[in-house]
Structures are given as C-alpha cells and as structure tokens.
Amino acid sequence: MTVIDEKVLTRFTTEALVSAGARQDDAELTAEVLVSADLAGVDSHGVARLRRYVEGLRRGTISGTARPEIVREQGGVTVVDAHNGLGQPALCFALDLAVERAAEHGVSAVAVRRSNHIGIAGWYAERAARAGAFALVTTNATPQVAPTGAAEPMFGTDPVSYAVPTSGEPLCYDAATSIVPRGKLERLHREGRPMRAGWAVGPDGETATDIPKVVEGLKAREGYALLPVGGLGEEFGGHKGSGIGLLAELLCGPLTGASWSRHTYGGQGGDLGQFVLCVDLRALGDPEAIAGRVGAMADEIRGARRADAEVPVRLPGDRRRRSAAERRAHGIPLLPPVLADLAEIAALTGLEPIGPAPTGTAPVAPAGASA
C-alpha cells in the first residue's frame, strides 16, 4: 500500500472535483465525506469512488452547478429536489434542514429526490448527533440486491444509519441492508482476497463467488445479485433483511417522489432518493441527561462478559473511530489500483498526481466496511 496524508488526499479530491465542473464549496464538502470514509476504514466508500463523480461531472450526467431546492413543506416535513447535483451537498443540505426543523417541531422528516450517490451514510447521521439530535438516514441506489424469493436484483444495497448523542462520542450505526455492499467486493478484489459463498447469486440463482464476474455482472445488470442481510431464503432471516431493504426503498422512492432502485440512473440522471428523520432531544427531556443515559448504556454493553476473552464487545462506530485515529496519525493506505485510478483522474483533470506521505509513517490495515 501507499500511505497518503489526509490533507493531501482531501486537497487532491477537492481540486479534481472542481476541475471536473463542481463548485468549490460542493467539492470541499464531497471531499470531506469521501476522505472521512477512508479515515474510518470504509475504503469501499472513500476516494475509490472519486472517479465515478469526476466522470459524471465531465459527461454532464451529474450537474456541477445544481443547488438543492425546497419544493414542498408542511409542518415538520420537507421535500428537497437535488436537481441531479452531487449527492453529498444535497443530503447535507437536507440533514441540516432536518436538524433545524426538529428544533422547531420536535421531530422532522426531509426527503430528497433527483439526487446522486452520497458516500458513507453515517457521516450525515453523526453530523446531526453532534448538533444534539437523534437522526436516521437512508438512501436507495442502483439495483443490486435480490429480495427474498426473487431471481434478479431489484433493491439497492440501501444503507440505513442512525446516530444519537452520548456523554462521549456519538453512537452511530451504519450498514447496508445487503450482506455486503458491492464496494466491499471491489475492495476484496483489489486486495486479492476471496468472497464468501452465500453473499451473492448468479443469473441461475446459484451462489456465485467469482468476484470479477459478480462485480461486472452487477454493474452491467446481467442478473447477478447480492443477497439481503440473512442470506438466501428465510432460514437465517433473509426475509427480515429484505423487509428492511423494502423500508429504505419506500422512504427513498415512492414516498419521496424519486425513483426506487430498480429505476434509478435513467435518462434523467441519477434520481436517487434519500430520507432523513430527526428528533430533537429537547423534545424528549433534558438533552444532557439523555446523552448521559445513552453513554451509560453503551459503557454497560461494552462491559458485558465476552464470548471470546480476546475479542472486545464492540458497539457500532467503535472500529471506525479507532481507524480514524490511527489513520490521522499515520496516513491513509491506498492500494495500487486506487492509486492508479487517482493518477488517471489527475491526467484527466490536469492535476499533479498525489504522492506518498512523509517517510516514517506506517501503513494502517483497513478496518472494514459497514455500508
């Protein structure tokens, strides 16, 4: 791996997006979200995704000049049209609006339509938690997951994230509603590691384990599909994972006015949907007391008797936070295929290729992906 300093990677990502046609403020925010994923060890949603944004901006399939617009309001419910702009600025606009409206109404919901890929969903939920609110964030995507009983992809990987303030760092859950996201398969392929049986099926409905075939089949929509949390059928609860995926599809598709995953990325651009639910803690009681109770609960769970004495009890966000601390100190490790991608982006946009971090920094192994 080549280790890159966080600031260097953020600057390059920002400049690449601006060179491709994004506004400076949108580019800076998008870069922050992408690099935050790499810091957290969620490499599948970091700068490995930058090329899709740069190419979309250059081709005009993503608008670099769009501004999210409120198109409907009633009480604490708001609908936002992203006008096919970058997903990160659109969802950040929606998230901040949800926090503001929740402060007024106690609870709020903001739906986004005509949006694009948002990166790591937990970044937005944590932003709300740091502002003193509980938030739930979800998005749809391209069709990649076969609902229980289906022999073709219909749902997206549809991550669901929630975060709540505590007496310390926010408690933040962030995970796909499929067993694995496609990005994890891409990362495993870059690392030369195999995928497990039971994660995906081929057009014949049988388990598929050839990563290049699965990834290309998903991209080309050739009948390959990931499986929902719980796996194939109902024996291990696959129908439950499928039901949570359906919830995300409803909130981000028909209820939002966006396309649901099977119909995203048509002639009108991405048309992804996102949904934010926000509760101001002041509507529930004393915010500091609530955060303290959540913190005490988290500490008690972490202190539970371990199933394996060598493996700590882990709550959502613990591993990502540990990875971020290590990578801020030592740099972000990038695999050769990702570095090669960034070099091609530099050539496309007229930028200088990025180089490794100063001598003496040590690579930090990926912490794993969650969404």
pLDDT digits (tens, 9 = 90+) for 312-329: 999 999 999 999 999 999
Instruction: Report the helix count and the strand count for the chain, using DSSP H and E.
Output: 11, 11
- Rounded to two decimals, what is the model's pTM? 0.92
Distance CA 206, CA 151 (A): 9
Q: What is the pLDDT of residues 75-91, one digit of tens each?
A: 999 999 999 999 999 99
Residue 268: pLDDT band by 50, 70, 90 thresholds? low
Per residue in 7-33, pLDDT tens?
999 999 999 999 999 999 999 999 999
Q: Which of 132, 107, 95 is closest to 283 using CA atoms?
A: 107
Share of the chain above pLDDT 70, in %: 95
Mean pLDDT of the chain: 93
- On the 0-12 / 13-18 / 19+ scale of CB atoms within 10 A, 300 is exposed
- Number of Cβ within 10 Å of residue 328's Cβ equals 14
Per-residue burial over 252-283, b if 16 or more Cβ lie within 10 Å, else e, is bbeebbbbbbbebbeeebbbbbbbbbbbbbee
- The answer to whether 263 and 282 are in contact (CB under 8 A) is no
pLDDT in tens, 336-369: 999 999 999 999 999 999 876 554 444 434 444 3
